[in-house]
Amino acid sequence: MGIKQRLGSRITPIGYAGLIILTLHFLLVVFGPSLAPHSPAAILTSDPFADIGLLGADYLGRDMLSRLLWGGRLTIGLSFSAALLGFSVGISFGLLAAVAGGWLDQAIGRTNDVVMSFPSIMLALLVIVGFGSSTPVLIVTVGLIQATRVLRVTRAVAMDAMVLDYVEVAHARGEGKWWVMRREVLPNVVPPLAAEFGLRFTFCILLISSLSFLGLGVQPPTAAWGIMVRENLSGLLFNSWVPILPAAAICSLTVGINFLVDWMLGFSYRDVREDIVT
C-alpha cells in the first residue's frame, strides 16, 4: 500500500468532519468581514429582533449576519493568540522541568500546581478586574491559565521520552541536556502536544466567550460571539432565534476542533503493526 493510500485510509469520518468545519471557519475568518453586507455597528431599524436581512436584527436593530462575520474573526483571533501564548510558555517550562530535574523541576511543578488549584474562570475574573479587560490583558490572562495545563502534559510526555533508548544513547555519546531536549525529546513528543494544542484552543474559545458573556471580556459595541449571546438573551422572550446563532457558532467551532483532535490522537497512537504489515 502506498503512502498516500495509507494516509487516506487513516482519515476517519470524524477527521473529515473536523477538517471541513475548521476550513469553513477559517474561510469565514479570512473573508467574512469583506462578505458582511453592513457595518457591524450600523443600526438598520428601530425594531429589536426585526426580520431583516438573512438572519434578522439584534436587540438594537443591527444586522446579525454582519456581526457574526465580524465577531468570528475577533473571537477566533483572540482565542488562537491566547492558545499560542499558552502553548509556548507551557512547552518551554514543561521541557525545562523534565530535562533539568531536581529542585528546579520541583519548584516549577509546585508553582504550577498552586496556579492550577484555582478555577480558571475565577482566576481570570480576578486578573481582569485588577488590570482591566483590554485585549492584551485578555490574551495574556487566558494564555497563561492554559499554559499550566500544557506544562503538566509536556512534562509528563517528556519524562516518558527521557527514559527511552535513543535518549540514553545520546547521553552516552556525551550530548548535553539541552541538545537532547531540542534534538531528541521535543521532536518525539510533537504528536500528543499537537492534540493538546487543539484542546487548549477549544478551552481558550470557551473561556474568552464566557468572560465576554459575563461582561468582563470584549466590550460592546465590538462584535464578539460571547458578548452577542449576552446582549440578545432577551430575544428568547420574543421567540427569536438570534441569541442561538452566536452560541451555535461557538458550538460548531469547538465541536470541529474536538473532532480533529480525536482523529489526531487516534492517528498518533495507531498500532505500529499496521505499518509493518503494509
User: In the chain, where are the structural domains located?
Assistant: 81-242+266-278
pLDDT in tens, 39-93: 888 888 888 888 888 888 898 889 999 999 999 889 999 999 999 999 999 988 9
C-alpha cell at 126: 480576578
The pTM of the full predicted model, rounded to 2 decimals, is: 0.83
HSE of 67 in the Cβ direction (CA atoms, 13 Å)?
Answer: 31
Q: Tell me the per-residue pLDDT of 86-140, one tens digit each, with 9 for 90 and over.
A: 999 998 898 888 877 788 888 998 999 988 888 888 888 888 888 887 888 999 9
CA–CA distance, 232 with 254 (Å, rounded to integer):
21
* Superfamily of structural domain 81-242+266-278: MetI-like (1.10.3720.10)
Distance of CA 186 to CAs 50, 106, 108, 159, Å?
54, 21, 19, 11
Report the number of secondary-structure helices (H) and strands (E) in the chain: 13, 0
**Identity of the amino acid at 148:** T
142 with 217: CB under 8 angstroms? no
Query: If DSSP codes are grouped into helix, strand and coil, which group holds residue 173?
Result: coil
